Chain A
């Protein structure tokens, strides 16, 4: 079943210089039980898209989409409170800096209890407290925290970022969401803790069938953990498809550059040899090029590129480029 089906999402900001299009006709879909990666450099619009999905963008943003379906229902057509209710029930989100998202003045126990919905608990009102405590402990075990009592009694500042992020995940899964959005969840963490967290999300996905939208600016750190991948550049979707397929055979020059810039994906590259690097850097919203936004940095750009390329498809592989890299039939 398709959980999320977004077509041509456009997010525009009202500024004194007029409307600025930060996200330009991006399509994104997510099936039940899928882990999808959303990759792009800072400022490419990843967080904006995530915020649009959980409906927390403020009034200055104009949201347009040809379709914005959540489990077959068009969210943009619903009244705001109903939209919020559905999202609150089904979607949870975790952020980059867990220690800043937790309340510094309350213990983990208090914060975790608050995130556990009372409705689902057995018993009547005077036994609910006990059930809540039990559930909180079970949640901590589920995210791999064994010393539950020490953690429950702590304030966020007493815990490491890694443990805080596990607590955030415990809070996020308390209501058994259908979709977990993780916005650069491991950027602030050690490599070893990063691997743990990815494995944790992977097992929640397997055991609970929870879908995950995994957001990152590093292709290599999430490629291993995702089934499908969408690559953004500067607010435009440049490529999407099965992760393995996209990595093996990128069609878009930007995806190609991302892959080539990571030494790990270049087994033949000797240590200390120059990496593949696109010239220049991502433009700011005030200075967006017309047409394909990669244009000024793209090694393949020609004059046609001043027209925005449309999303094309080859089997399950989507790309938007006038001059895609050579396509080879999958074996």
Chain B
């Protein structure tokens, strides 16, 4: 069986201005390889600047890799078929409160996503909207709510509904859970685990909260300066970290 997501020798560098005339290149991602199958969670851990968010940006197609390939079910994706594949990989915002337009009702916001990316008619869109609200534990009448009318936990559910409405196969959670308060986080974690079980959704979890990584993920990659320095099944990796950098991230040295 071909993997749902396969990343092969992925590279990305940025030019960085040093003063007026000097530039250097920063290798944000350096020959990254991994696979993710349906119903699995892959965690990516590393310090700020280690390349985690760059990886997320390449996967959702906001930026293009310099080299290497992203394959979905065996098919290489390119920016030209972005519209097609942006359904498959979706991104959940970290700060739902700031990411949502405060003057737009939730229903209209979700409708925009559908109008931009699908050819569904009005009625089909309405159906999808209600379905995604229901999936995330919200109510039909929330269509008419503005973002400020929600609590923090509900807003995170709205962000999740927005990510799920295109029925993706992979969801990227870039520190989306880290900022939540513990009781709200527990609710969202349960919702995510549930969705994974029911629908085989896959997650790419980017988080500095290693307790969360341990609980949710199956496999884990440790990034340092754009390179994978250690990887393995999460439990094994966190129980017996081999690389000094992993140990450092765990606060062991």
Contact = CB atoms under 8 A, between A and B. Distances in A.
Contact of B152 (A192, A218, A274, A281): A281
Given A191-B250, A192-B249, A277 B183 contact: yes
Contact of A274 (B48, B185, B190): B190
B214 A277 contact: no
B251 A263 contact: no
A281 B208 contact: no
Interface stretch (A97-105, A171-179, A254-262): A254-262
Contacts of A274: 189-190, 193-194
A282 B190 contact: no
Given A192-B251, A194-B251, A263 B214 contact: yes
A278 B183 contact: yes
Nearest to A257: B183
Contact of B211 (A264, A273, A276, A280): A264
> Which residue among B151, B184, B186, B211 has the maximum number of chain A CB atoms within 10 Å of its CB?
B186
Contacts of A196: 251
A272 B182 contact: no
B182 A262 contact: yes
> Which residue among A42, A261, A282, A284 has the maximum number of chain B CB atoms within 10 Å of its CB?
A261
Nearest to B249: A192
B183 A262 contact: no
A171 to B, nearest CB: 23
Given A274-B190, A275-B190, A281-B152, A191 B183 contact: no
Interface string A9-22: 00000000000000
B109 interface: no
Contacts of A217: 181-182
**Chain A interface extent, by class:** 20 to 34
A272 B215 contact: yes
B212 interface: yes
B152 A195 contact: no
Contact of A261 (B152, B183, B196, B216): B183
A218 B248 CA distance: 21
Interface residues of B, number: 32
A195 B214 CA distance: 18
Given A41-B181, A190-B47, A276-B186, A281 B215 contact: no
Q: Which 8 A-B pairs have the closest CB atoms?
A: A195-B251, A277-B186, A41-B181, A261-B186, A263-B215, A281-B151, A275-B186, A281-B153
A330 interface: no
A220 interface: yes
B153 A271 contact: no
Interface in B142-156: 151-154
Contacts of B95: none
The SS class assigned to the B binding surface is helix
Interface in A277-298: 277-282, 284
Contacts of A275: 186, 189-190, 215
21 contacts: A41-B184, A190-B249, A191-B209, A191-B250, A192-B248, A192-B249, A195-B251, A220-B211, A258-B182, A261-B185, A262-B182, A263-B211, A271-B214, A271-B234, A272-B216, A274-B189, A279-B187, A281-B154, A281-B183, A282-B152, A282-B181
Contacts of B209: 191
B197 to A, nearest CB: 8
Interface of A: 41-42, 160-161, 190-192, 194-196, 217-220, 257-258, 261-264, 269, 271-282, 284
A191 B251 contact: yes
Contacts, number: 85
Nearest to A198: B251
A257 B208 CA distance: 23
A271 B181 contact: no
Given A41-B182, A258-B182, A277 B216 contact: no
A274 B216 CA distance: 10
A178 B211 CA distance: 34
Interface string B141-183: 0000000000111100000000000000000000000000111
Contacts of B69: none
B111 interface: no
A190 B186 contact: no
A196 B251 CA distance: 8
A188 to B, nearest CB: 10
A263 B216 CA distance: 10
A257 B187 CA distance: 12
A236 to B, nearest CB: 16
Contacts of B62: none
A257 B181 CA distance: 12
A271 B47 contact: no
A273 B208 CA distance: 20
B230 interface: no
Contacts of B139: none
Nearest to A258: B182
A282 B150 CA distance: 11
B120 interface: no
